[in-house]
Amino acid sequence: MTPKLPIKIAAHDFRVFHGQEESLRGITLNIPANRILGVIGPSGSGKTTFLRALNRLNDLAPETRINGQVLLDEQDIYAPSFNVVTLRKRVGMLFALPVALPMSIFENVVYGPRLSGVRNRKRLEEIVETSLKAAFLWDEVKDRLMMSGLRLSGGQQQRLCLARVLAMEELEVILLDEPCSGLDPISTAKIEEALTILKAKYTIILVTNNTKQAARVADETAFFLMGDLVEHGPTEKIFTVPDDQRTNDYVTGRFG
Amino acid sequence: MNLNGEKIAKYALMTVAFSAVASLLLIAVFIFKEGLPFMFKVGLRDFLFASDWDPMAGKYGIYPMIVASLWVTLGAMLIGAPLGVAGAIFLNEFVPKPVMRVIKPTIELLAGIPSVVFGFLGVMVLAPWIRATMGGPGLSVLAASVILGIMVLPTVISISTDAIGAVPNSYREGALALGATRWQSVYMVTIKAARSGIIASIILAMGRALGETMAVIMVAGNTVKIPHSVTDPVRTLTANIALEMANATGMAREALFATGVVLFVVIMILNGVALSTIKGRVRRK
Amino acid sequence: MRIPPKYTQILAVTILGAATVFTVAVLVFIIVFVLSKGLPGINWEFLFSAPKDMGRAGGIFPTLVGTVLLPLMAIAIALPLGVGTAVYLTEYTRETRLTQVLRFGTDCLAGIPSILFGLFGFIFFVVMLKMGWCLLSGGLTLAIMVLPTIIRTSEEAIRAVPNSYREVSFSLGATRWETVLKVVLPNALPGIVTGVMLGIGRSIGETAAVIFTAGSALRMPASAFDSVRTMSVHFYILAREGISNEKAYATAAVLIISVLAVNLAAYGMMHRFIAKRSR
């Protein structure tokens, strides 16, 4: 069948503690490159914690500690020598609620490139156009790039956020935290379509509460429950003949 | 460059963050450095509890000024506190929200009227009236108390209103549901719940009244004498500092700093009490 | 005999209402009184010509200049310190013993009466640092005085910036300082400006701290090391030494109008800020 893909991200017995509470209990998971990994599970299962650990956003919460390893291209991202700023430029994140920064559409998109030191106006304009096209937003906003990003609709804002992530030249991995939870079906479809195209270039990890969405777009699916990784495998297998009874119960809608 | 700049920013900000505390310490150190040695040279008794102030003759008793400051401050509170608290209660409980939204900022705006303007009005309007109706020179404990009482109104109203506004509506509704009238619910529930904020507003206002200088100089009369009636002229601690500062040197100047020490200590105690009463209740609501 | 609740209610509301009306009336009276006495004396010449004969005649132009320069200098010094402190307290530390001490210090500084600022500024800047009575001594003293106001308003404004903005910025590879510069401060700006306005308002009205540090020379300052007289100080001297009641009222009217205008601008700013935030 498909040739064995290289491993992009590997977690080894990875644990996250929030104060006394253990939110992730020893996750071991290999994530292949250029695939969409769907992460499903009921709320509170640790999906989002896992996602945020991958670009070290949980560093910002003061009570959080970690244990174990996460390797990106075989480098430990939690090693003291690993530059967290570089990490976040390589691993982009899309949040559950679309957050357009209160600045123009143009400035939203070039936020990352400007931080990386891109100054050339023409280069920035190119970046804006390619990123917005890749996020399926270009046609809707190309005539009003100087308008505040806050004036876009929710669905448009989420695609703006996607474009903002795609604008980063160092980008290799895209993390999505229930990106469609607040969106209408059309915007959702557009984002899903964008993702299936983008996986040729990026590794994508999609946390979703909507199991159908995982079934539609994910190549592989991981099922989290109460901080444990219950099962991980090809999406068809997870949704048809899972190994674990709990996975079966969840995907068939018996709980969650 | 990135991470080095980040470190520089962090340490620069950390240094800057000490500016307020450093200023406070600097102020304390300099006022104490100038004032404390003097206090011990003259002796605490002859400084704090003697009644003769005559720097030319080497007499440095500030007792009359201490008494004057107390009288004037208490007088100001007798006028400012009831009016201010009554205003805060009325605005919060008996006035429609839109009206309150106009009146409260207006009152807070008035906090910006410079103190010298209050003092001037005291001289032009209040003092002549006191002289005409009650006798005495007009410039007096009473005049200073009234002017200061008016000056602290915005402080009392503003902080008390916040405290009363912070009382959850469910408390009032609970009382009203038990058949209390509006006033009973205010009296028995709201005021009790907002008590600490109201008290804090009064203490902070007290600090302001005690520390006020220019307005007091203009209306209090400035005679160094223990007052026997509210129509007597007096000189407060703050007025003493400001009046003699311009031409004081040597011991006389040190005496003024020593007066500053007394003022500093009393104000810090008042602030400390107010801040600990208020803490976690009204502030950063 | 017990008075029925219905009547205590009426009685209480009447008393409270009367007290409120009285309070508002007194405060409004003060403004109306000063303006009615002072406005007739204000004209172009009064504002823009030099005083003659100690202020008995002529205008107030040098004091107008002093009233602009001194608060501006105070803000120029206090703004970076205050905003820096606020940024440090909100963005760079968690609640610790240290931040408690810093906040307590700020609160205490806010409670110190202006005469003590005057004493300190005099002994430290004027005498010890040998700067003399000048614009700079006064500016530094006022800067310390308005510092707590700027710290508090900035802190509140910064806290009101949604956390999601910071997360987005970090997730796009921004460092903390870049996030502060590009996202936090621009969004906190209206609140910070409000604090600045309040600080300016307080500086304009201040007398005790100014007179001992900036002096009271009645001429145009040529440098930061020249003594200046602000309108407040000028007004105080006119009124206290009985030089001219007419000029005193006119000066007071200008003073009140300036302070109210600055404060009003600050409130307007704050309201727009709050309205925008709740949208």
pLDDT tens readout for residues B88-107 = 999 988 888 888 888 888 88
- CA diameter of chain A: 56
Strands A36-40 and A220-225: parallel
| C165 to chain A: closest CA residue | A101
The C-alpha of A51 sits at a distance from chain C's nearest C-alpha, in angstroms, of 12
- Tens of pLDDT along chain A (256 residues) come to 455 678 999 999 999 998 888 889 999 999 999 999 999 999 888 999 999 999 999 888 878 889 999 999 989 999 988 999 999 999 999 998 999 999 999 999 999 999 999 999 999 999 999 999 999 999 999 999 999 999 999 999 999 999 999 999 999 999 999 988 888 888 899 999 999 999 999 999 999 988 899 999 999 999 999 999 999 999 999 999 999 999 999 988 776 5
The C-alpha of C256 sits at a distance from chain B's nearest C-alpha, in angstroms, of 6
Q: Which residue has the tokens 């710290």?
A: C151
pLDDT of residue A1: 43
Q: Do C173 and A93 touch (CB under 8 A)?
A: no
Confidence class for position B1, pLDDT limits 50, 70, 90: very low
Helix (H, G, I), strand (E, B) or coil at B285: coil
What is the percent of chain B where pLDDT is above 70?
Answer: 96
Residues of A in contact with C182 (CB under 8 A): 111
Q: Do B211 and C116 touch (CB under 8 A)?
A: yes
What are chain C's partners, defined as 3 or more CB pairs within 8 angstroms? Answer: A, B
| C178 to chain A: closest CA residue | A115
pLDDT of residue C8: 85
Sheet with A203-207: list strands edge to edge. Answer: A91-94, A173-177, A203-207, A36-40, A220-225, A228-234
Residues of C in contact with B105 (CB under 8 A): 267
pLDDT of residue A44: 85
Q: What does the alpha-carbon distance between residue A191 and residue A213 come to, in Å, rounded to a whole number?
A: 11
Tokens of C76: 């120029």
Q: Do C173 and A116 touch (CB under 8 A)?
A: yes
Of B213, B218, B265, which is closest to residue B239 (Cα–Cα)?
B213
The pLDDT of residue B69 is above 50 = yes
> pTM of the full predicted structure?
0.89
pLDDT of residue B283: 43
Q: Find residue A71's DSSP bridge partners.
A: A10, A76
Torsion C111-C115-C119-C121 (CA) sign: positive
Confidence class for position B171, pLDDT limits 50, 70, 90: confident
What are chain A's partners, defined as 3 or more CB pairs within 8 angstroms? Answer: B, C
The C-alpha of B258 sits at a distance from chain C's nearest C-alpha, in angstroms, of 11
CB-nearest to B211 from C81, C87, C113 is C113
Q: What is the CATH number of domain A7-251?
A: 3.40.50.300
Q: What's the mean pLDDT when you consider all of chain B?
A: 89
Q: Domain segments of chain B: what residues?
A: 62-278
Per-position b or e across C52-89, b if 16+ CB within 10 A of its CB: eeebeeebbbbbbbbbbbbbebbbebbbebbbbbbbbb
Residue of C92, C171, C279 to mutate for A, most A C-beta atoms under 10 A = C171
Contact status of C107 with chain A (Cβ, < 8 Å) = no
pLDDT of residue B6: 87
Residues of C in contact with A170 (CB under 8 A): 173
Residues 221-240 of C with CB under 8 A from B: 232, 235-236, 239-240
Of B147, B102, B214, which is closest to residue C30 (Cα–Cα)?
B147
Residues of B in contact with A85 (CB under 8 A): 2-3
| B278 to chain C: closest CA residue | C107
| A62 to chain C: closest CA residue | C94
pLDDT of residue C96: 85
Contact status of C17 with chain B (Cβ, < 8 Å) = yes
Q: Phi, psi at residue C224, to the nearest 5°?
A: -70, -10
Interface confidence (ipTM) of the complex: 0.91
For B62-278, the fitting CATH number among 1.20.1260.10, 1.10.357.10, 1.10.3720.10, 3.40.50.720 is 1.10.3720.10
Strands (E), chain A: 7-18, 21-32, 36-40, 64-72, 75-76, 91-94, 173-177, 203-207, 220-225, 228-234
Contact status of A81 with chain B (Cβ, < 8 Å) = no
Q: What Cα–Cα distance (Å) separates residue A192 from each residue in A149, A156, B69, C240? A: 22, 14, 75, 78
Tokens of C240: 């206290």
Q: What does the alpha-carbon distance between residue A155 and residue B128 come to, in Å, rounded to a whole number?
A: 72
CB-nearest to C22 from B13, B83, B181 is B83
Contact status of C108 with chain B (Cβ, < 8 Å) = yes
Contact status of A83 with chain B (Cβ, < 8 Å) = yes
Q: Do C170 and A60 touch (CB under 8 A)?
A: yes
Residues of A in contact with C94 (CB under 8 A): 62
Q: Which DSSP state fits A5? A: P
- Non-local CB neighbours of B283 within 8 Å, separated by 6+ positions: none
Of A166, A101, A161, which is closest to residue A127 (Cα–Cα)?
A166
Q: In angstroms, how far is CA A47 from the centroid of its own chain?
A: 11
Q: What Cα–Cα distance (Å) separates residue C237 from each residue in A22, A192, B242? A: 70, 76, 13
| B15 to chain C: closest CA residue | C85
Q: Using only the alpha carbons of chain A, give its radius of gyration.
A: 18
Helix (H, G, I), strand (E, B) or coil at B258: helix
Give the count of alpha carbons within 13 A of A236, CB side only.
Answer: 0
Contact status of C45 with chain A (Cβ, < 8 Å) = no
Q: Which DSSP state fits A152? A: S
Q: What does the alpha-carbon distance between residue B154 and residue B188 come to, in Å, rounded to a whole number?
A: 25
Contact B67, B136 (CB under 8 A): no
Contact A173, A35 (CB under 8 A): no
Residue of B116, B186, B262 to mutate for C, most C C-beta atoms under 10 A = B116
Residues of C in contact with A166 (CB under 8 A): none
What are chain B's partners, defined as 3 or more CB pairs within 8 angstroms? Answer: A, C
- Non-local CB neighbours of A203 within 8 Å, separated by 6+ positions: A8, A9, A31, A32, A33, A34, A35, A37, A172, A173, A174
Contact status of A115 with chain B (Cβ, < 8 Å) = no
Strands (E), chain B: 53-54, 59-60
Residues of A in contact with B3 (CB under 8 A): 83, 85
CB-nearest to A88 from C162, C165, C170 is C170
Q: What does the alpha-carbon distance between residue B109 and residue B154 come to, in Å, rounded to a whole number?
A: 8
| C179 to chain A: closest CA residue | A115
pLDDT tens readout for residues B181-197 = 888 888 888 888 899 88
Of A156, B21, A217, which is closest to residue C107 (Cα–Cα)?
B21
Residues of B in contact with A83 (CB under 8 A): 3
Helix (H, G, I), strand (E, B) or coil at A70: strand
Query: What's the mean pLDDT in B10-15?
Result: 94
Q: What share of chain A is helix, strand, coil (3-state, %, to 5)?
A: 40, 25, 35
pLDDT tens readout for residues C150-166 = 999 999 999 999 999 99
Residues of C in contact with A93 (CB under 8 A): 171
Q: Residue B201 belongs to what H/E stretch?
A: helix B195-211
Fold of C44-278: MetI-like fold (1.10.3720)
| C270 to chain B: closest CA residue | B105
Contact status of C19 with chain B (Cβ, < 8 Å) = yes
Low-confidence ranges of chain C (pLDDT < 50): 278-279
The pLDDT of residue B179 is above 90 = no
| A166 to chain C: closest CA residue | C172
| B211 to chain C: closest CA residue | C113
Neighbours of A241 (CB within 10 A): 10
The C-alpha of A119 sits at a distance from chain C's nearest C-alpha, in angstroms, of 16
Contact status of C259 with chain B (Cβ, < 8 Å) = yes
Number of inter-chain CB pairs under 8 A, A vs B:
3
- Non-local CB neighbours of A213 within 8 Å, separated by 6+ positions: A38, A180, A188, A192, A206
Residues of A near C (Cβ–Cβ under 8 Å) read 55, 57, 60, 62, 85-86, 88-89, 92-93, 95, 97, 99, 101-102, 111-112, 115-116, 161, 164-165, 168, 170
Torsion C138-C143-C144-C149 (CA) sign: positive
Contact C127, B34 (CB under 8 A): no
The C-alpha of A115 sits at a distance from chain B's nearest C-alpha, in angstroms, of 10
Instruction: Write out the DSSP string of chain C.
Output: -PPPHHHHHHHHHHHHHHHHHHHHHHHHHHHHHHHHHHGGG--HHHHHS-EEGGGTEE--HHHHHHHHHHHHHHHHHHHHHHHHHHHIIIII--S-HHHHHHHHHHHHHHHS-HHHHHHHHIIIIIIIS---SSHHHHHHHHHHHHHHHHHHHHHHHHHTS-HHHHHHHHHTT--HHHHIIIIIHHHHHHHHHHHHHHHHHHHHH--HHHHTTT----S---STTS----HHHHHHHHHHTTS-HHHHHHHHHHHHHHHHHHHHHHHHHHHHHHHHHH-
Residues of A in contact with B1 (CB under 8 A): none
Q: What does the alpha-carbon distance between residue B173 and residue B178 come to, in Å, rounded to a whole number?
A: 9
Torsion B257-B263-B269-B271 (CA) sign: negative
| C276 to chain A: closest CA residue | A102
Q: Domain segments of chain C: what residues?
A: 5-41, 44-278
Of B204, B155, B89, B74, which is closest to residue C20 (Cα–Cα)?
B89
Contact status of A146 with chain B (Cβ, < 8 Å) = no
Q: Phi, psi at residue C66, to the nearest 5°?
A: -60, -40
Which amino acid is present at C3? I
Query: What's the mean pLDDT in B31-35?
Result: 94
Q: Is B22 exposed, middle or buried (0-12, 13-18, 19+ CB in 10 A)?
A: middle
Contact status of A2 with chain B (Cβ, < 8 Å) = no
Q: What does the alpha-carbon distance between residue C137 and residue B78 come to, in Å, rounded to a whole number?
A: 38
Q: What does the alpha-carbon distance between residue B60 and residue B49 come to, in Å, rounded to a whole number?
A: 10
Of C152, C149, C153, C131, which is closest to residue C140 (Cα–Cα)?
C131
| B2 to chain A: closest CA residue | A85
Per-position b or e across C114-152, b if 16+ CB within 10 A of its CB: bbbbbbbbbbbbbeeeebebbbbbbbbbbbbbbbbbbbb
Of C77, C124, C83, which is closest to residue C224 (Cα–Cα)?
C77
Q: Which residue has the tokens 């320069």?
A: C69
Which amino acid is present at B117? V
pLDDT of residue A17: 92
Confidence class for position B178, pLDDT limits 50, 70, 90: confident
Give the count of alpha carbons within 13 A of B191, CB side only.
Answer: 13
The C-alpha of A234 sits at a distance from chain C's nearest C-alpha, in angstroms, of 29
Residues of B in contact with C12 (CB under 8 A): 183, 186-187
